[in-house]
Homo-oligomer: A and B are copies of this chain.
Amino acid sequence: MTGVEITFLPDNRTVRVPPGTTLLEAARLAGADLEAPCNGAGSCGKCRVQLLEDADQPHADELLHLSGSEIAEGVRLACRSRADGSATVQLPGAAASGHRILSEGLLPAFAIDPRIGKRYLELPPPSLADNCDDLSRLARALDGGLLAELPLAFLQELPGALRAGGYRVTVVTADRHPIGVEPGDTSARCYGVAVDIGTTTVVAALIDLNSGDELASASMINPQKGYGLDVLSRIQQLRAHPEALHTLSSLIREGIDQLIGELSASASVGRGEIYELAVAANATMTHLFLGVDPAGIGASPYLPAFTAGASVPAREVGLAIAPFGLVYCLPAVSGYIGADIVAGLLAAEMDQSAGIALLIDIGTNGEIVLGSAQGLHACSCAAGPALEGMNIGCGMRAAEGAIERVLIDGELTLGTIGDAPAVGICGSGIIDAVAELVKVGAIGRSGRLLRLNGKEAPLPWHARLRSDGSSRFVLSETGGVEIAVSQKDVRQVQLAKGAILSGMLSLTAQLGIGLEEIERVYIAGAFGHHVRKESLARLGVFPRECLDKVVLIGNSSKSGAIMTLLSREKRARAEAIARKVGYLELSCFPGYDRLFADCLSFAEGAW
């Protein structure tokens, strides 16, 4: 049989195609799920796949859409890559409601030893001569190993399970202790769900606890968004209206329950076959999910009610999984270094790293952790949402029509998501735009937009610099709709990058570590996936010497949650990490204000 064999992961769909077929066509033949809004024109950049063997040199179209690190990692556009030999191709996770939500994350190798287990038992049927009660009969088969305080659901399920299974039952255990019982031998079917509750997005993955495989993934915009886009505004809502705690809590619980329903349906796994959720989230989201008032986090001294990991019955948080199912919330370090960061450290294995590493999660609140197996220290900085495209005049989320690429090379070239007409600027777009404006001198080192005085040699982009009304640089004005980067936008970007950079430099200074000693920079989250390294360097979000050490670990919050679901050792490690990380309060760090001011500069030598 001629042709080459292409296997698409994670669904493991294989198809044989003639050599030279594009991976996009192969994916369609295989019935694999791959979005391609521009239908193979090479312009939208959405049909990203990762080649797990050698990848060819990238096509010119790919260079516009892919960052250097992505290219190095074998990421290509399926419409521009051709099957020359047999290949294994990793497809991206599903997106939700038109938004790009990052669901994939780096997952290190580890031994599977989940907290939840199963044990199949064949009990002798009762008689008048052997008439002990159901629970005692089960305890006898378990060598007396029953909890003193069994979950009520266990007792409620027991008699039905024994009768229905003809005294052959499967006992579900947590840390080897029985928590539930099912008729017959169900040991082959044992599932958990890992959840990343972000302030903006929620991602859930269905995990086979026997194999460790991720069977399905689902995501949604955090249903609390109507109560404020960031953590602080939601806390302020709560301070003004304490009764909103119930609403915020219900919203996220119902949202997660909906995701569980989607996962269950898409993988043909019953809700009752799901026994545990592992939830990683920032401290405020964890509080709201559990129905605990997070108001203390919102004002000095910024105290959460708890940081320890918590395990509660799923019923108590309104989730319909197995009736005796559990929910584990990963531990946090402090109010602003949440379980999502602990999960990231777990996924990056920074607590076991011989060399010094840095982990950064960039969002409205930026979190930075520096250290190694010798010790870990963290700080958080109020970066604002500018680097995510928020609080920007023409800012928008990464959705269709968002400008995500800007090149100024004589003339201006724009790339939009979905190759659609530009309707706004997303995070990677604003970073690219400001970096390119710095590159061509349209933004000075102090962050001031150039005002032409007519003496310059005229350049093609000069016409885009406007100062009627406000100073701005116009990216697009198709159909009379102006999409521009304003002086105010530049200041927002500048404050964000200043906050992150100064946080990082405070940590290194505090610990007496030189930037050159940092061996790895892990970037958690979506940030960096769609941004060119060169732009990051020019902007000064990171010192240039760190750029080559960057590893994008993606949704490491979800990865860490998966690890705690699958490994008791990793769960214990998460708890240890949370206790181990030292917290540096930047406002107490000597000389911080001066350092922050220095870090606002776009001149790379300034800091």
Chain A contacts to B: CB under 8 angstroms: 126-128, 130-136, 148-150, 152, 155-156, 158-160, 163, 290-293, 295-296, 300-308, 310-313, 315-317, 334-335, 585, 587-588
Name 15 interchain pairs, CB-CB below 8 A, sorted by A.
Answer: A126-B301, A130-B301, A131-B303, A132-B303, A133-B303, A134-B304, A134-B306, A135-B308, A136-B308, A152-B290, A152-B312, A152-B316, A155-B290, A156-B293, A163-B296
Report whether A305 and B133 are in contact in the complex, using a CB–CB cutoff of 8 Å: yes
Find the B residue at minimum CB distance from A151: B312
CA distance A406 to B431 in the complex (A): 100
With A133-B305, A303-B134, A305-B134 known as contacts, the answer to whether A292 contacts B155 (CB < 8 A) is yes
With A158-B292, A159-B292, A290-B152 known as contacts, the answer to whether A300 contacts B128 (CB < 8 A) is yes
CA distance A163 to B298 in the complex (A): 14
Report whether A334 and B292 are in contact in the complex, using a CB–CB cutoff of 8 Å: no
CA distance A158 to B306 in the complex (A): 9
Report whether B156 and A292 are in contact in the complex, using a CB–CB cutoff of 8 Å: yes
CA distance A296 to B137 in the complex (A): 14
Indicate the member of A133, A134, A150, A588 with the most B CB atoms within 10 Å. Answer: A133
A276 CB to closest chain B CB, in angstroms?
13
7 new A-B contacts at CB < 8 Å, known A133-B307, A133-B334, A134-B304: A128-B300, A131-B301, A131-B585, A135-B306, A155-B290, A159-B292, A159-B305
A331 CB to closest chain B CB, in angstroms?
10
CA distance A311 to B155 in the complex (A): 11
A318 CB to closest chain B CB, in angstroms?
11
Report whether A136 and B585 are in contact in the complex, using a CB–CB cutoff of 8 Å: no
Residues in B with CB closer than 8 Å to A307 are 133, 135-136
A32 CB to closest chain B CB, in angstroms?
41
Find the B residue at minimum CB distance from A304: B133
CA distance A217 to B126 in the complex (A): 41
A404 CB to closest chain B CB, in angstroms?
39
CA distance A155 to B290 in the complex (A): 8
CA distance A152 to B163 in the complex (A): 33
Find the B residue at minimum CB distance from A136: B307
Residues in B with CB closer than 8 Å to A156 are 290-293
CA distance A149 to B174 in the complex (A): 13
Partner pick for A310 among B131, B150, B335, CB 8 A cutoff? B150
With A310-B150, A311-B149, A312-B152 known as contacts, the answer to whether A131 contacts B302 (CB < 8 A) is yes
With A128-B585, A158-B305, A296-B159 known as contacts, the answer to whether A291 contacts B133 (CB < 8 A) is no
Copies in the complex: 2
A195 CB to closest chain B CB, in angstroms?
17
CA distance A148 to B328 in the complex (A): 12
Report whether B126 and A303 are in contact in the complex, using a CB–CB cutoff of 8 Å: yes
Residues in B with CB closer than 8 Å to A296 are 134, 159, 163
Residues in B with CB closer than 8 Å to A133 are 303-307, 334-335
A364 CB to closest chain B CB, in angstroms?
21
Report whether A155 and B334 are in contact in the complex, using a CB–CB cutoff of 8 Å: no
CA distance A263 to B361 in the complex (A): 55
Partner pick for A588 among B128, B163, B334, CB 8 A cutoff? B128
A558 CB to closest chain B CB, in angstroms?
23
CA distance A307 to B126 in the complex (A): 15
Report whether B155 and A306 are in contact in the complex, using a CB–CB cutoff of 8 Å: yes
A3 CB to closest chain B CB, in angstroms?
56
CA distance A154 to B75 in the complex (A): 48
Residues in B with CB closer than 8 Å to A308 are 135-136
A363 CB to closest chain B CB, in angstroms?
21
CA distance A140 to B395 in the complex (A): 46
Residues in B with CB closer than 8 Å to A301 are 126-128, 130-131
Indicate the member of A306, A312, A313, A335 with the most B CB atoms within 10 Å. Answer: A306
The list of the 6 closest CB pairs from A to B, nearest first, reads A135-B306, A159-B305, A131-B301, A152-B312, A133-B307, A134-B305
A267 CB to closest chain B CB, in angstroms?
28
CA distance A7 to B184 in the complex (A): 65
Residues in B with CB closer than 8 Å to A130 are 301
A291 CB to closest chain B CB, in angstroms?
5
A191 CB to closest chain B CB, in angstroms?
22
Residues in B with CB closer than 8 Å to A163 are 296
Find the B residue at minimum CB distance from A300: B128
Report whether A310 and B159 are in contact in the complex, using a CB–CB cutoff of 8 Å: no
CA distance A133 to B293 in the complex (A): 13
CA distance A182 to B84 in the complex (A): 70
Residues in B with CB closer than 8 Å to A317 are 152
Residues in B with CB closer than 8 Å to A158 are 292, 305-306
Find the B residue at minimum CB distance from A125: B301
Report whether A310 and B155 are in contact in the complex, using a CB–CB cutoff of 8 Å: yes
Residues in B with CB closer than 8 Å to A302 are 131
CA distance A312 to B311 in the complex (A): 16
Report whether B135 and A305 are in contact in the complex, using a CB–CB cutoff of 8 Å: yes
With A293-B160, A334-B133 known as contacts, the answer to whether A305 contacts B155 (CB < 8 A) is yes
CA distance A334 to B131 in the complex (A): 9
Residues in B with CB closer than 8 Å to A132 are 303
A334 CB to closest chain B CB, in angstroms?
7
A138 CB to closest chain B CB, in angstroms?
9
Residues in B with CB closer than 8 Å to A295 are 159
Report whether B293 and A159 are in contact in the complex, using a CB–CB cutoff of 8 Å: yes
Find the B residue at minimum CB distance from A131: B301
Find the B residue at minimum CB distance from A302: B131
Residues in B with CB closer than 8 Å to A149 are 310-312
Residues in B with CB closer than 8 Å to A152 are 290-291, 310, 312-313, 316-317
